């Protein structure tokens, strides 16, 4: 793509902070001036003056428009909330299929690859002045690829939000084999009707939060959601530790089961679910855009802190949840907490876990909805003013999306069904396929990709294609085997 300014070398370590009066560090300022002088000598003084390289025209780089935005802690909370949502409920079930050893290894591996892909996405978003995921995809692969990436965001985020509502319904009103919280408290009645309960939660709690127009407005609620997730993990881990000491936990499987066709199909289906665990890339640019004093280095810190938190939370939840319930672990582990856990105050613990995580999902919902709404707006109203400047359009999109998500929640039977399809398609594309292609294409154009980074990008791309094919094949065979 034609540009009116020269590309900055990857070794320049540019730090563009709003607090400093200089555009570049002292070590790189002379190089940048020399590059501009070389340009002037090539195109002429008059044409060089016409280049009009004014850094104030590039708010994504200079950070000036981020004044009053969120700090590192707020950004960490928002990014962590984008990751730790409904997906954590399926991790103990994936551990049951993969075994403790392979499951733990995949949690670490996916975290590392996801963090690398996020950092590459940040680098090229800043280098090419892209304020959204779709924009940087368009720079790399064109308009059609941008539309495809935005459709992936809509499918992925819409699926996640549907799953959130499904979990809320499972916990509050119960499911086929499990008792809901309201059933235990009040017995059967009109008050525990699943669709009515979900609708009340959406209107009273979710709609007001989803109506907010800036993601940094959700920093406080994101912090609360992370705290509730930590409470859930601590309780699960503590109960598992108590039962382990008492010797009442069955011996867990350490490796996958290949003894039957059904077990192999479960393995094929569960790998895409693991690849879905760390997908937060759709919110990286919105969070970066509102980061106070933003720079790639500062956003990378946010990403690494977030990844470390998520690894601890995921590993603790997956292992302790599987140890607690063993082969009886459900796709939505919250539904397992309706029985006696075999410890003192079991009933109170069950209520704390289930109600606490429902509150967590209520606070996660608006963060995922934010990027969904922004993407739909970009896709349908390209060139229009931002949603923050059009309250009517923002409110209209919010109401329509919430209505569609509610309808979807009444049609999906369980969270496993949603995750195994989004994990094999949209999630793996957003988390690995597009970031790898962006790095390979734009890295070649700008010569800012090292040999190691290029190799890792190819590895991510190959793994994404394999996971997508394997997951899709597994899903198709799983459907066919159930219909036979």
Q: Which tokens go with 122?
A: 């940040």
What pLDDT is recorded for position 217? 73
Tell me the domain boundaries of the chain. Answer: 72-483
pLDDT 10s per residue in the chain (484 long)?
444 444 444 444 443 333 333 333 444 444 444 444 444 443 444 443 443 334 333 444 444 444 456 688 888 988 988 888 767 877 888 888 888 888 899 899 999 999 999 999 999 999 988 888 999 999 999 999 999 999 999 988 888 898 888 888 878 877 666 677 777 776 676 666 778 888 988 999 899 988 887 777 777 888 888 888 888 888 888 888 888 888 888 778 887 877 766 667 677 777 777 777 888 898 898 889 888 888 899 999 999 999 999 999 999 989 988 888 888 887 778 778 877 777 888 888 888 888 888 888 898 899 889 889 989 998 888 878 877 778 889 899 999 999 999 998 888 766 666 666 666 678 889 999 999 999 999 998 888 888 999 999 999 999 888 888 877 776 666 666 655 5
DSSP string, 283-304: GHHHHHHTBTT--HHHHHHHHH
Is residue 245 exposed (0-12), middle (13-18) or buried (19+ Cβ within 10 Å)?
Answer: exposed
d(CA 297, CA 123): 9
Domain 72-483 class in CATH? mainly alpha
DSSP string, 348-404: HHHHHHHHHHHHHHHHHHHHHHHHHHHHHHHHHSTTSPPGGG-HHHHHHHHHHHHHH
Q: What is the DSSP letter of 424?
A: I
d(CA 95, CA 131): 37
d(CA 137, CA 467): 21
What pLDDT is recorded for position 300? 94
What pLDDT is recorded for position 22? 36
What pLDDT is recorded for position 452? 92
Task: Taking the CA atoms of 339, 346, 334 and 266 in sequence, report the sign of the dihedral they define.
Answer: negative
What pLDDT is recorded for position 120? 94
E strand map for 190-267: none
Pick from 214, 220, 272, 271: nearest CA to 81: 220
Quote the Cα angle for 391-397-400, to 5°.
Answer: 140
Q: Which tokens go with 312?
A: 């601890």
What pLDDT is recorded for position 24? 39
């Amino acid at each position: 793509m034609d540009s009116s300014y020269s590309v900055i070398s990857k070794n320049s370590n540019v730090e563009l902070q709003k607090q400093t009066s200089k555009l570049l560090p002292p070590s790189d300022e002379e190089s940048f001036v020399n590059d501009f002088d070389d340009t002037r000598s090539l195109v002429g003084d008059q044409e060089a003056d016409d280049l009009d390289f004014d850094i104030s025209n590039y708010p994504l780089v200079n950070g000036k428009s981020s004044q009053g935005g969120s700090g590192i802690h707020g950004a960490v909370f928002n990014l962590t909330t984008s990751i730790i949502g409904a997906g954590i409920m399926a991790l103990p079930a994936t551990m049951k299929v993969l075994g403790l050893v392979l499951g733990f290894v995949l949690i670490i591996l996916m975290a590392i690859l996801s963090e690398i892909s996020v950092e590459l996405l940040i680098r090229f978003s800043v280098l090419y002045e892209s304020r959204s995921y779709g924009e940087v995809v368009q720079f790399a692969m064109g308009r059609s690829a941008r539309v495809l990436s935005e459709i992936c965001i809509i499918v992925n985020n819409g699926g996640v939000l549907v799953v959130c509502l499904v979990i809320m319904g499972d916990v509050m009103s119960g499911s086929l084999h499990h008792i809901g919280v309201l059933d235990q408290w009040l017995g059967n009645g009109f008050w525990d009707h699943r669709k009515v309960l979900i609708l009340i939660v959406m209107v009273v709690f979710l709609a007001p939060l989803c109506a907010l127009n800036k993601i940094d407005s959700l920093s406080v609620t994101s912090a609360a959601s992370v705290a509730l997730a930590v409470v859930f993990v601590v309780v699960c881990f503590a109960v598992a530790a108590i039962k382990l000491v008492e010797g009442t936990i069955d011996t867990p499987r350490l490796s996958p089961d290949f003894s039957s066709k059904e077990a192999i199909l479960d393995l094929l289906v569960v790998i895409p679910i693991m690849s879905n665990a760390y997908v937060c890339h759709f919110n990286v640019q919105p969070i970066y855009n509102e980061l106070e004093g933003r720079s790639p280095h500062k956003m990378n810190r946010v990403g690494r802190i977030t990844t470390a938190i998520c690894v601890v939370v995921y590993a603790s939840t997956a292992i302790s949840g599987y140890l607690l319930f063993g082969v009886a672990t459900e796709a939505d582990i919250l539904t397992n907490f309706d029985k006696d856990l075999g410890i003192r105050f079991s009933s109170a613990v069950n209520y704390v876990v289930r109600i606490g995580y429902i509150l967590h999902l209520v606070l996660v919902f608006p963060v995922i909805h934010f990027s969904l709404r922004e993407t739909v707006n970009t896709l349908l109203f390209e060139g229009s003013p931002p949603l923050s400047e059009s309250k009517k359009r923002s409110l209209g999109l919010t109401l329509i999306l919430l209505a569609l998500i509610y309808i979807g929640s009444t049609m999906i039977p369980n969270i496993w069904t949603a995750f195994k399809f989004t994990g094999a398609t949209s999630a793996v594309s957003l988390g690995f396929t597009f970031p790898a292609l962006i790095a390979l294409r734009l890295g070649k154009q700008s010569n800012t990709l090292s040999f190691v980074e290029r190799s890792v990008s190819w590895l991510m791309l190959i793994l994404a294609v394999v996971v997508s094919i394997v997951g899709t094949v597994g899903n198709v065979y799983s459907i066919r085997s159930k219909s036979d």
